[in-house]
Chain A
């Protein structure tokens, strides 16, 4: 009994390492091994969906998330976003209570695609003010794109 679980932990740390290194094709193989032992492992399924997203296989990721993982609204919304199902992305983001920064980030991108620049501007203003990461310049570029669209919309 202890052997398979020790094996799974080893696989999990392998998975974590591959994920940190951004080697998602390798991570996908590892996570499939974990799922071979236990097809219902929610956490592994979640990780598999994350791998698939990074490998741009959004349809497959969404299938897993919709059928088997209940607490991954952010990832689900991101798949909708990339599959051009923007309205669905918006709806599933709105169903999240207490959105964290990453959810706000995606919401801002969704609002941009919905051409709701006023709302989008407000979300970005909040994000630019409150976030601290390596992407502040990119975020300000996005904010500038929103402002440009607001401006051209109002003539």
Chain B
């Protein structure tokens, strides 16, 4: 019993893997988690460029444009 009361002081979030009958959980003020949580340092998200987009371009249109030159000359003649 004495053991139970000491565990009751832990918040539910910190003892998810042990079973303790905690009467506060059904009461008006259950001990579930600290809110707001403490701040924790995390690494920042590094910059990352989408360089593949620069390479999205039309396929070669030479075969379609070349005709224009030919056409242009015949028109000229």
Chain A residues within 8 Å of B, Cβ to Cβ: 5-6, 8-10, 12-13, 15-16, 19, 43, 46-47, 50, 53-54, 72, 74-75, 78, 81, 101-102, 105-106, 109, 112, 135, 138-139, 141-142, 144-145, 148-149, 152
Contacts and interface: CB of A to CB of B under 8 A. Distances in A.
Contacts of B59: 43, 46-47, 72
Given A102-B55, A142-B48, A43 B67 contact: no
B13 interface: no
Nearest to A107: B52
Interface string B48-59: 111111111111
9 contacts: A16-B65, A19-B58, A50-B57, A53-B53, A74-B55, A74-B56, A78-B52, A106-B55, A141-B48
A113 B47 CA distance: 13
Contacts of A10: 68
Contact of A106 (B43, B52, B65, B71): B52
Most-contacted residue by chain B among A9, A43, A75, A102 (CB, 10 A): A9
Interface in B29-77: 43, 46-59, 61, 64-65, 67-68, 71
B46 A149 contact: yes
A43 B61 contact: yes
A101 B55 CA distance: 9
B46 A6 contact: no
A62 to B, nearest CB: 13
A16 B61 contact: yes
Contacts of A109: 48, 50-52
A40 to B, nearest CB: 15
Chain B facing A: main interface SS = loop
Given A47-B59, A102-B55, A138-B51, A8 B46 contact: no
A101 B56 CA distance: 12
Nearest to A147: B46
Contacts of A75: 56
A15 B48 contact: no
B67 A81 contact: no
Contacts of B46: 141, 144-145, 148-149
A46 B48 CA distance: 28
